[in-house]
């Protein structure tokens, strides 16, 4: 399954999501593993990366 294209709108949330995805993929880590390390779910990491969810 191909990931959705990243939102390139100049928002802080889109930038954070893009950076998170870039570094996660560079390390070849699945979203679930990143979620484990941050005490979050892989689904939440995916939402952050796609910009559908924001950190508070």
pLDDT digits (tens, 9 = 90+) for 5-50: 765 556 888 888 999 999 999 999 999 999 999 999 999 999 999 8
**C-alpha dist (Å) from residue 16 to 1, 26, 32, 36, 55:** 22, 15, 18, 19, 10
CB distance 45 to 31 below 8 Å: yes
- The tally of domains found in the chain comes to 1
pLDDT at 47: 93
pTM here is 0.75
**Cα–Cα distance between 38 and 41 in angstroms, integer?**
8
Assess if residue 30 is contained within a domain.
Answer: yes
Domain that holds residue 35: 12-50
**C-alpha dist (Å) from residue 34 to 3, 8, 53:** 16, 23, 16
Assess if residue 2 is contained within a domain.
Answer: no
Assess if residue 43 is contained within a domain.
Answer: yes
Assess if residue 35 is contained within a domain.
Answer: yes
């Amino acid at each position: 399954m191909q990931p959705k294209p990243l939102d390139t709108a100049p928002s802080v949330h889109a930038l954070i999501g893009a950076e998170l995805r870039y570094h996660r993929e560079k390390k070849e880590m699945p979203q679930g593993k990143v979620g484990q390390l941050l005490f979050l779910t892989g689904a939440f990491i995916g939402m952050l990366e796609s910009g559908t969810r924001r950190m508070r």
